[in-house]
Structure 1
């Protein structure tokens, strides 16, 4: 009450009025507006973009063998193909970029500025890109060997210590495409019958347009029959392998079901993947210098285990002319016969031992140990040896790069094409490693 008497004489206060606000001013896209942009393709890519280094590398290669195979010549008819340097640079950069499809690369050549810069106005189509990708395995093998040799000569890497690891990559075959021997025989007979029927229809059909369509159907049926025949041949190999395993482990083999082969990718085999699942896949073997993360050699295996593949890897390295003193592998490769063989060839094989059934020390000497196995047990039991073996973990970075660069599932079918895909990755990976090691050496100098 006292407050009302105290302030009753004050004048009423007017509430301040907010200033009137207009509509917000925004920048909106105006795609119908005509604008002139004068710029060369070379101005759209920065001077330090990695794609320029890739092109400089490819442009300096001797690709005379690829030029000799070109049929289009001066003074003769024929549409000129894209330059081999361009095709090689496109696939190398696509591999670095994680692009594994010819159709996707064709689209990028039209829409992406980096790929447009590489093309430089040359039109592309997915068929030519796909054909070039799988047609030059010998060139890729030569590029891989020459790249490693050049880095060794420049003092960027050392091949005294090598590491090998298997990378399981899903195949293009579906899990439902695997059939047993009896079913493969039925499918092959049905495919042959269809091919003969379609061939007869093509020969007797008077309509030219329909004849082309029927010829395409016949070609598809013929290709399917060939894939089924390849699966039958693969089945013979699996049966022979089963017979070999029966000699050493008859009880375990008796529990297994009859082997199966895929009607879409006969070389693929169902393997246990890193996530615990079972998928059709290829076991890609990568041999590298773990300290420098440079790939030295690659190979493809269709077995689901790495056991016994160390000797094959060392033989591959020797065939390339490399003489490592140390060879690092994981526990999946451990095999006493391989350790003895490597020791006989003056190579120290480093690998962990498996756990024993009775929980005893796996590195304890045994009566039947050879000289190489005894030396291996002593090395791996030593603290300095375990410290040196940790270098093998550096190889896992290459596996991570492989996943990032598209080695998750293959779009190509067959062991040979899978090897080509792996070679593209190896060459592209080594190219980027060369740039990094060269820059590091220059900074140190």
Structure 2
């Protein structure tokens, strides 16, 4: 090895700092330089821990048959076209995003570039928010199937008992303002104005020879046409509201003078409902059936009726189509109870557990009443017994599902229309079952 003197030659000696001497010259510091391009070596696999929920979701997604989605992909081997992201990846991204309280496609797109967990899921695959948004609301049928298959697997493993179910409803704020609700006269006036604007813009587009101005007017025409379609949908919703009110009046009404009917021009299917804080806002009534005593969702449904009364039978029929049979016991709160539904359930061999409404006159609600059928009589006796009250206590656990969804930021919807709302709720239901099923399967 060459000596230092031979390698570096004659170097000047550095003067040693003298004790107590004043520093001379400007200080030498390491300052941040953020305008430089930096290449970093990152082990993507080590970005998250082995027990991270994202790994649980990916392990679930890896075992799915998603051929129905993969068959729709137009990019094939030896043919031109840019390959889209894998449906398996899109499914995993939205499942984890749901558990992380992310309900915006744009926000998810940004997280895929900046957040380690989402970068781990993507594994280097780039995303765009249009693809993410379309996938979220466009695969409700797939989510329904996956929810049923996962539930069947949990039942086969003996982790859930589907003989006793609970049902509860939660009202979720709709993507519509209270000021968007209009009466019939206002809707008729807005419809006439919108149609006049559409016709006028059509004439301008046809007569204008300039391409740029024609494109601008075409965009204005499209906006006017969409406005007209929303007003038309609101008129149809208003007619439906009037029809239901007429049916209620024919049955004797509810003793209250109804206000003039109104419908929203933003989301015609939304209805003003009484919320949990006693306020009134546009919302949807999300019905959830779950396994009693467990945080496992069996099925979900979305309704725009502000009351739960009359929604027990449709949910039980939906459960039968899903499971192939009715449950032996069905637990609901007092808002669902109606003598007609209880009699129907009794005829189908279903025991209903629901607390009777307290009478204003102070009469014992568990005593038989004139006109009670055999189903209602059996229900009153059942709920008066200690065993019936003990069975009903298992219903309270289902409230934790709603609480978990609230923690996942399901407070106000970002989509419009019952079908899209149902797709969003299915994401929450499937995500809940995957994570809760993993918890139940642990030894």
The answer to whether the 8 A contact 2:47-2:116 is kept is yes
Paired position in structure 1 for 2:91: 88
1:279-326 CA distance string (max 9 Å, x none): 000000000002121100111111110011111111111111243110
CA distance in 2, matches of 1:61, 1:212: 45
Structure 1 residue aligned with 2:388, among 385, 388, 406? Answer: 385
Answer yes or no: is 1:394 the counterpart of 2:397. yes
The answer to whether the 8 A contact 2:294-2:398 is kept is no
CA distance in 2, matches of 1:343, 1:221: 53
5 Å-filtered alignment, 1:159-170, equals 159-170=162-173
The answer to whether the 8 A contact 1:160-1:326 is kept is yes
Secondary structure of the residue aligned to 1:293 is coil
How far off is 1:76 after superposition? 2.6
5 Å-filtered alignment, 1:176-255, equals 176-250=179-253, 252=255, 255=257
The answer to whether the 8 A contact 1:177-1:264 is kept is yes
How far off is 1:432 after superposition? 0.7
How far off is 1:202 after superposition? 2.5
Answer yes or no: is 1:104 the counterpart of 2:107. yes
Q: After the TM superposition, which of the residue ranges 69-78 and 79-88 deviates more from structure 2?
A: 69-78
The answer to whether the 8 A contact 1:165-1:287 is kept is yes
Paired position in structure 1 for 2:139: 136
Answer yes or no: is 1:428 the counterpart of 2:417. no
Secondary structure of the residue aligned to 1:388 is helix
5 Å-filtered alignment, 1:40-79, equals 40-79=43-82
Paired position in structure 2 for 1:10: none
The answer to whether the 8 A contact 2:345-2:351 is kept is yes
Secondary structure of the residue aligned to 1:71 is coil
Secondary structure of the residue aligned to 1:332 is helix
TM-score by length of 2: 0.90
Gaps of 5+ in 2: 1-19, 21-28
Q: After the TM superposition, which of the residue ranges 410-419 and 53-62 deviates more from structure 2?
A: 53-62
Paired position in structure 2 for 1:16: none
Paired position in structure 1 for 2:413: 410
RMSD after superposition: 1.9
CA distance in 1, matches of 2:409, 2:114: 21
Structure 1 residue aligned with 2:282, among 270, 280, 283? Answer: 280
- Number of corresponding residues: 414
How far off is 1:111 after superposition? 1.3
Answer yes or no: is 1:336 the counterpart of 2:336. no
1:77-96 CA distance string (max 9 Å, x none): 32221110111111111111
Secondary structure of the residue aligned to 1:252 is coil
CA distance in 2, matches of 1:149, 1:54: 18
How far off is 1:35 after superposition? 7.0
Paired position in structure 2 for 1:298: 300
Secondary structure of the residue aligned to 2:255 is helix
Structure 2 residue aligned with 1:116, among 112, 116, 119? Answer: 119
1:87-139 CA distance string (max 9 Å, x none): 11111111111111111111111111111111111111111111111111110
Secondary structure of the residue aligned to 1:384 is helix
CA distance in 1, matches of 2:404, 2:97: 14
Cα 1:98–1:424 change in 2 (3 A) is same
Structure 2 residue aligned with 1:262, among 261, 264, 276? Answer: 264
Secondary structure of the residue aligned to 2:302 is strand
CA distance in 1, matches of 2:298, 2:317: 13
Gaps of 5+ in 1: 1-19, 21-26
